[in-house]
Amino acid sequence: MATEENPYTQHYFVQKGDTLSKIAREFYGDPMLYPKIFEANRDILKDPDRIKPGQKLRIP
Amino acid sequence: MLKKSLFITAVAMLALAAGCANQKGPATKAVGDAEAALAAFKDDAARLLPGDLSGVETTLTGLKDSLAKGDYKAVLAAAPELSTRIAALRDATAAKKAEWEAATAAAKEKWTGFAADLPKMVDAIQSRVDILGKARRLPRNVSKEAFDNAKAGLDWMKSQWAEANDAFNKGDAIDAASKAQAVKDKGNEVLKLLGLAPSA
């Protein structure tokens, strides 16, 4: 089911070398919270270990 | 001599009574007209210009008292000024009502935008607060004080948003839009506290 876009949801463009854990540490202070980002982007991510530079991720 | 004096007194009393009787009708009509004129817009005046209405009603009550006491002369003397004041109040009420209706229309239009926007703002903030609440440490750009203030701000937003909806459902779009604007302003503050860019 597609997530309804919320204009207040933060977004992040994946950079080379990023992982969801690294992004979670940057935005949440805790890398263990990476599943929150994965769940919010299930429409474009199939595997939390596979993200590509340039992907636009929702950061809930 | 005594008979003549009594006769003159009687004639004078009859003349006075006749004069009073002549004034009773116009005085009664003056009070009735004033009441009817005021009744035509009294509800609007009570809502929009209660202070002004109160002054006019006090004067009208005074005239009714004079009428009840038979002081028709006093009623007729004061009636023109009261009539003028009622007409002025009627015009002021009409102007105020037009102003209020325009403000209400504008507030309803704003409300439509707030109703679509603010629940999303609250949801986004709630989501981030919930996630940060589970974090073992906060991100570099969010201090503990900022996070605590953000949580308090979110609680206030939810409470104020509920009040705004209540006001709108009760028909007070102006108050509702004012409260919603306050929610929006607070939301932008909270977004900054959480390191989230406020909407443009």
**Tell me: the pLDDT tens digits for A3-60?**
568 999 999 999 999 999 999 999 999 999 999 999 999 999 999 999 999 999 999 9
Query: Is A60 in Cβ contact with B196 (below 8 Å)?
Result: no
The answer to whether B190 and B153 have CB atoms below 8 angstroms apart is yes
A36 touching B (Cβ < 8 Å):
yes
Average pLDDT over residues B70-89: 97
Average pLDDT over residues B128-147: 97
Nearest to A27 among B120, B125, B139 (CB): B139
B59: Cβ contacts below 8 Å, ≥ 6 apart: B78, B82, B85
How far apart CA A19 and CA B94 sit, in angstroms, is 66
A2: Cβ contacts below 8 Å, ≥ 6 apart: A43
Which secondary-structure segment (H or E) carries A56?
A: strand A56-59
User: Residue A1: which pLDDT band, with cuts at 50, 70 and 90?
Assistant: very low
Query: Is B142 in Cβ contact with A30 (below 8 Å)?
Result: no
Tracing tokens 């406020």 back to the chain, one arrives at B198
How far apart CA A17 and CA A21 sit, in angstroms, is 11
Query: Is B140 in Cβ contact with A60 (below 8 Å)?
Result: no
Q: What is the pLDDT of residue B10?
A: 54
Query: Is B142 in Cβ contact with A10 (below 8 Å)?
Result: no
Higher local confidence (pLDDT), B49 or B6: B49
Nearest to B135 among A7, A9, A30 (CB): A30
How far apart CA B123 and CA B138 sit, in angstroms, is 20
User: Residue B167: which pLDDT band, with cuts at 50, 70 and 90?
Assistant: very high
Q: Is the ipTM of this complex over 0.85?
A: yes
Which secondary-structure segment (H or E) carries A11?
A: strand A10-13
Q: Given its phi and psi angles, is residue A47 left (phi above 0), alpha (psi -120 to 50 degrees) or beta?
A: beta
Judging by beta carbons within 10 Å of its beta carbon (0-12, 13-18, 19+), is residue A12 exposed, middle or buried?
middle
Spell out which residues of chain B touch residue A33, defining contact as CB-CB under 8 Å.
Answer: 131, 134-135
Query: Is B123 in Cβ contact with A8 (below 8 Å)?
Result: yes
Q: What is the pLDDT of residue A5?
A: 87
